[in-house]
Amino acid sequence: MAQLWHILRKDCRYLRFEFLLYALFLGCYTWTETQVVPATSFGREIFVPDTLRLLSAIGMMAVASYLIIRLIHAEAIPGDKQFWLTRPYSWKSLLGAKALLLLLGVSLPMLAVRLLIFRIQGFPLIPGLWQLLWSQLVMTVVIGLAIAALAALTAGLVQFVIPALVLISVAAFVQEDAYWVNSWPAGTLWFRETLAAAGLIAIALWALHSQYRNRNTSFARGFALSAFTFVGILYFYAPWSLAMTVNGWLTAPMTDGSSPGVVLGPELKFYPAEPGDRVNGRLPISVRGIPAGYSSELQQILVTFRGPAGVKQEWFEPGPLQTSLQGLGYRAMGAVDRSFYDAAQGKPMTIRVSVDVILFPPVQTNKIKLSEDFVNVVGGVQCRGAILRREFVEQQLRSRSGRFDGIECRSAFDWPEVRSLLTPEAPFQPLRALVPSHSPFYKGALSLLSVQTQNVFFYRGVDETTITAQGPPQWYHRDFEFRNVRFGDTMDLH
Amino acid sequence: MTTVISAQNLSKRFRKTEAVEDLNLEVSEGSIFGLIGPNGAGKTTTIKILMNIHKPSAGSAEVIGVDSRRLGPAEFAKIGYVSENQEMPDWMTVEYFLAYLKPFYPTWDDARANELLRQFELPLKRQLKHLSRGMKMKASLVSSLAYRPKLLVLDEPFSGLDPMVREDLAEGLVDSAGETSILVSSHDLGDIESFASHIGYIENGKMKFSEEMTSLTERFREVEVTVAPPAAATGKGQWPESWLRPDKTPAVIRFVESQFDSERTQKDIRRIFGDVVQVSVNPMPLRAIFVALARTGSKAAA
């Protein structure tokens, strides 16, 4: 332990100028993030364009990354000429000192600064603090560890930059092109991203441990590259049905003991809408047993057709919503291969349907006076009335004419899981579209901009408005099966 | 006598290059072992294997009683290592460098460190990056001698240094000899012949010979045989393998006897040349011995 502190003190001294630079960027970040009211002008705020905010956040992250690289390279692992190799260093003390300085010198100041911004902006401490802590931890573990691991596999800054650029390009390419290679429904994307992030963390932890303990750089580089490729392949080619299954495992029971039911019917229709290889289908789905005051939303639907023609898995999108006496009805839309359709037509099949359902709790209504002070609306969202600044109007609205009024709503770090509507002036205009996620990395984990300002709605001459909000939602996963169903059946499947 | 370094059949291959091949080495406690050989002979690789910087491809080595592959903090607290191309923490001042290293070594002796600092006249407040090559070597040596190591390993410490600095470093080493066993490598025999007690010659990754300095100088002689012409310098019968680099003229034969024994050598001369006019036997300086060995492929070295 004494050796750990001794190395840590040495690194503090070694990196004193880098720490000074980091402090400068943290200050810059704090300043831009606390001037963040770009849309409005009540005479107090300085107009800070989003570009400047982003630049200061990126600058802070760049210096933090540089600090981590320098910290690891102070006792570089690859190579055979470093003085420390033949000194009585304990690998545990060395790794511990680096990890501790990463935590105390890089992550903790960033957390403190973000907390300061959070408080200056006037957000309530609870529950924002937990979100902030979680966000900082995820940022440290995902980004900090990855940088440290790559630094442990390289001997200098130049050696670091080249593979880093390659890896970033590959990651960007994978994320950009994954949709085209193997598209996943929105509600399952969290699983793919979580898989990649967890893989990255595991590789980084292994690389750090292996390098500090064994110093076998060639092997560690080869293994890390293979593991990275494997994670990439998994990201591309893992079936999204797997994510549906995991969604099912993570489903929580209703708090009041009731449970929504999902049924198929009354009719199953397939029709060749256009000549081509695919036959479009319509799958009627009804959601029943929703508690009073709650509302539901269907997410992705996995349909497995099993019959004499073989097994076929398809992904259906929730179609238009209908309300009936029996419950909420959807017409899920999808398509199957024409060859499968032709082979299976008229023959009995078993249809297995897996579906994710989101339930929103009853609506909360808030009537707010429009003034220059933000008012807490729901789940961390704050709103106020505002007169837009001329600069904002010119920049965002491409307009030079006159004065604009509006409502400005904001949230710390990222938007909470709420669905909010401005009424009656902006009927059914949601503040944010929800993307279902079970991801531990969700909740603004990697958001650099401290305050998210969303959907400023413009109107004139109103002193107060009503905001309705629903949240947080609950997720459900349901599997059900029907036997002896045929394509083209119009019979009631209940 | 106990050994501080013992290597058996040590080999190291870098892809297609065999840097060290079947190398055996013994360094006795208290000795100053000079490992010499031309550039690229495998000296640095051997030392790096011994210091657990590289793993051997085959064979094994024990350093202060521990397998070289298992050398850890406890052993490095008793070993000093100085190398010509070591990457030092250049941002540190000499003073901070020593202060930083001190807590790593339970046996650190401030008095010894100060004595060495005085001896080497090192500027304490100057950063290592602003020191000359010689000064840097001195700083490195101070940091490796201040804890009175059991073993000191030096890889080409004199390379590129001016004679004054060489002299200073050599003095520092000699002062530490006795309590510290020393393994020092060099491509130039002149650097170490004045203080090495043992010598090992390495070439193409192979140890050609390894023995005490005194025995080495005793067994090598330059012999000049004057014969009566036309008895011819070819003589009769097979020449002993221990005769290196024969140089023949019709009347005079010169060679290096690598296994000198007065009686046996005289007997061999008489057997081959019969009655000779004169035999002159001269001791050889180390440099001449090594030149003879290097040029003959060291067949008779052992």
Q: What is the CATH number of the domain that holds A258?
A: 2.60.40
DSSP state of B274: -
Residue-wise pLDDT tens digits, A167-177: 888 878 776 76
Check whether residue A299 and residue A417 sit in a common domain.
no
Residues of B in contact with A87 (CB under 8 A): 76, 101, 104
d(CA B228, CA B250) in angstroms, rounded, equals: 9
Residues B192 and B247 in one domain: no
Q: B276 with B175, same domain?
A: no
Cβ-based contacts of B81 with chain A (< 8 Å): 86
pLDDT at A41: 44
Q: Is pLDDT at A44 greater than 50 in this prediction?
A: no
Which of B180, B199, B216 terminates a domain? The answer is B216
Decide: pTM greater than 0.90. no
Looking at beta carbons, which residues of chain A come within 8 Å of B76?
86-89
A239, part of any domain: no
Both A147 and A175 in one domain: the answer is: yes
| Domain match, B71 and B194 both | yes
B64 and B147 both lie in a single domain: yes
Asked whether residue A123 falls in the same domain as residue A25, the answer is yes
pLDDT one-digit tens code per residue, B228-261? 766 555 666 778 888 887 787 778 888 888 888 8
Say if residue A271 is in the same domain as residue A377.
no
Alpha helices in A332-388 (DSSP H): 338-344
The total number of structural domains that make up chain A: 3
Domain shared by A339 and A375, yes or no: no
Least confident piece of the model among A75-79, A144-148, A259-263: A259-263
Predicted pLDDT at A252: 59
- For residue A1, pLDDT over 50 is answered with yes
Structure tokens at A130: 């937990």
- Report the CATH number at residue B115: 3.40.50.300
Do A298 and A418 belong to one domain? no
- Distance from A13 to chain B by nearest Cα, in Å? 10
In a domain, B301, yes or no: no
Q: Give chain B's contact residues with A (Cβ, < 8 Å).
A: 48, 51, 53-54, 72-74, 76-77, 79, 81, 83, 85-89, 91, 96, 100-101, 103-105, 140
Domain-located, residue A45? yes
Q: State whether B87 and A79 contact (CB < 8 Å).
A: yes
Domain boundary among A140, A157, A185: A185
Write the residue in A2, A86, A90 that is nearest to B81 by C-beta: A86
Residues in A touching B103 (Cβ below 8 Å): 2-3, 6
User: How high is the pLDDT of residue B125?
Assistant: 92
Residue B180 DSSP label: B
Contact A83 B51 (CB under 8 A): no
Residue B132 within any structural domain of the chain: yes
Judged by CB atoms closer than 8 Å, whether chains meet at B51 and A90 is answered as: no
Interface contact flag, B53 A85, Cβ < 8 Å: yes
When scoring B100, B108, B129, B144 by the number of chain A Cβ atoms within 10 A, the one with the most, hence best to mutate, is B100
Give domain status of residue B143, yes or no: yes
Are B252 and B105 members of one domain?
Answer: no
Tell me, yes or no, whether A247 lies in a domain. Answer: no
Bridge partners (DSSP) listed for residue A245 = none
A10 neighbourhood in chain B, CB within 8 Å: 100
Specify whether the CB–CB gap between A308 and A376 falls below 8 A: no
Question: B178 and B267 share a domain?
Answer: no
Q: For residues B209 and B236, state if they share a domain.
A: no
Q: Would the CB atoms of A86 and B76 count as touching at under 8 Å?
A: yes
Residue A310 lies in a domain: yes
Closest among B158, B2, B168, B162 to B84, alpha carbons compared: B158
Contacts of B89 in chain A (CB under 8 A): 14, 74, 83
Of A428 and B71, the structure prediction assigns the larger pLDDT to B71
Name the A residues in 67-96 with CB < 8 Å from any B CB: 74, 79-83, 85-90
Interval A230-248 mean pLDDT: 82
Residue B274 and residue B195 share a domain: no
| Residue B110: Cβ within 10 Å count | 10
Chain A residue whose CA is closest to B49: A80
What is the rounded CA–CA span in Å between residue B78 and residue A78? 24
Which residue of chain A is at minimal alpha-carbon distance from B84? A81
The count of CB pairs under 8 A between chains A and B is 48
Domain-located, residue A190: no
Residue B235 domain flag: yes
Among B216, B245, B267, the domain-final residue is B216
Asked if the structure places residue B294 within a domain, the reply is no
User: Within this chain, do residues A6 and A139 fall inside the same structural domain, yes or no?
Assistant: yes
In-domain check, residue B290: no
Note whether A44 and A123 are same-domain residues. yes
Distant-in-sequence contacts of A172-181, Cβ < 8 A, 24+ apart: A174/A232, A174/A235, A174/A236, A178/A235, A178/A236, A181/A236, A181/A237
Residues B82 and B169 reside in one and the same domain: yes
- pLDDT tens for A308-331 read 878 877 777 776 666 655 566 777
Residues B122 and B13 in one domain: yes
Residue numbers of the domain that contains B171: 3-216
ipTM of the prediction:
0.84
Q: Are residues A343 and A465 in the same domain?
A: no
Do residues A410 and A374 make contact, with C-beta atoms less than 8 angstroms apart? yes
Token pair of A334 as six digits = 């999808």
Q: Are residues B155 and B259 in the same domain?
A: no
Domain that holds residue A468: 364-472
Is residue B291, in this structure, part of any structural domain at all? no
Does B37 fall in a domain? yes
Cα–Cα distance for residue pair A453/A444, rounded to 1 Å? 13
CA atoms of A493 and B241, how far apart (whole Å): 104
Residues from chain A contacting residue B73 (CB–CB below 8 Å): 88-90
pLDDT of residue A298: 78
pLDDT of residue A43: 41
Split into its structural domains, chain B has a count of 2
CB contact under 8 A, A85 and B51: yes
Contacts of B77 in chain A (CB under 8 A): 88
Do B160 and B118 sit in the same domain of this protein?
yes
Last residue of a domain, one of A185, A204, A224: A185
Average pLDDT of the segment spanning A330-338 = 80
A275 and A415 co-located in one domain: no
Q: Does the pLDDT at position A132 exceed 60?
A: yes
Q: Are residues A321 and A399 in the same domain?
A: no
Chain B CB within 8 Å of residue A206 CB: no
DSSP state of A186: G
pLDDT higher for A116 or B168?
A: A116
The closest alpha carbon to A216, from A97, A89, A91, belongs to: A91
Enumerate residue ranges in chain B where pLDDT < 50: 298-302
Chain B residue numbers with beta carbons less than 8 Å from the beta carbon of A81 are 83, 85-87
**pLDDT at residue A47, as a whole number:** 57
CA distance A383 to A71: 43
Query: In terms of domains, do A424 and A460 share one?
Result: yes
